[in-house]
Amino acid sequence: MARYVNIAIDISARIVRGEYREGQKIFGRSSLAGKYNVSPETIRRALMLLQDTGVVNVTPGVGVAVRSKRAAEAFLSQSGQRQVLRDLQERLHSLLRERDRLNAEIEKLMNDLLDYTFKMAGRFQKIEEVKVTPCSPLVGKSLVEAEFRGKTGATVLAIYRDGEEIVSPSADTVIQAGDVLIMVVHPDMKDELHRLVDPE
């Protein structure tokens, strides 16, 4: 709260307590500035605030006189309400800042978790070589028709065919007898993959 407002509140409290009575002339600006250890301008603003709310009368060349104890009580009540509102606003702003900090931390942890999950999943995958026999039901089918990923989660990395290597074959590549499929597959699905290529 601004210093001049605090001074206005203190003067009003003294009026309510009876230290200053209605009609009584209180200290001049210079004396008040020394009393509160502030500049005369700060005292001027405090007195103008009290005058605007009907607590005192400020007469140039005469001084400052107490006008109304009731107005002082009302001013103190209003100041207390404003302080409560200000405290609530500061608390809200503090909580919002904390929420933003927590959201940023949560987002970072989620990204770290995803990265770790993908890395661990990659470690669990194994490279498997599967030879396609002439009696395999996959002979003559394309890779997409074979449904390796859907049935076993496996991915074809390359195909060895007639001494040549087809790297990252397209989905429409047709499987031929004698092909050796280089695949990455989870160990738990290894047997299922072999049964898919050669049920016998």
Q: Considering only the top CATH level, what class is 126-197?
A: alpha beta
pLDDT of residue 172: 93
CB-based contacts of 188, cutoff 8 Å, min separation 6: none
Predicted local confidence at residue 92, as pLDDT: 75
| DSSP sequence for 158-181 | EEEETTEEEES--TTPBP-TT-EE
The rounded distance, in Å, linking the Cα atoms of 161 and 178 is 7
**CATH 3.30.70.1450 segments of the chain:** 126-197
Residue-level pLDDT at 83? 59
The answer to whether the beta carbons of residues 171 and 144 sit under 8 Å apart is yes
Q: Are strands 63-66 and 155-161 parallel, antiparallel or unpaired?
A: unpaired
Say what the pLDDT of residue 81 is: 56
Fold exhibited by the domain 3-74: Arc Repressor Mutant, subunit A (1.10.10)
Q: What is the mean pLDDT of each run of 10 residues along the chain (200 residues)?
A: 86 89 84 87 91 90 88 85 58 83 86 66 70 92 91 88 88 93 85 85
Question: Which residue intervals of the chain bear CATH 1.10.10.10?
Answer: 3-74
Distances (CA, A) of 111 to 71, 100, 106, 114, 117: 60, 17, 9, 5, 10
Q: Is 58 helix (H, G, I), strand (E, B) or coil?
A: strand
Q: Kindly report the backbone phi and psi dihedral angles of residue 179, in degrees, each rounded to the nearest multiple of 5, phi listed first.
A: -65, 145
Q: Rounded to whole angstroms, how far apart are CA atoms 76 and 19?
A: 15
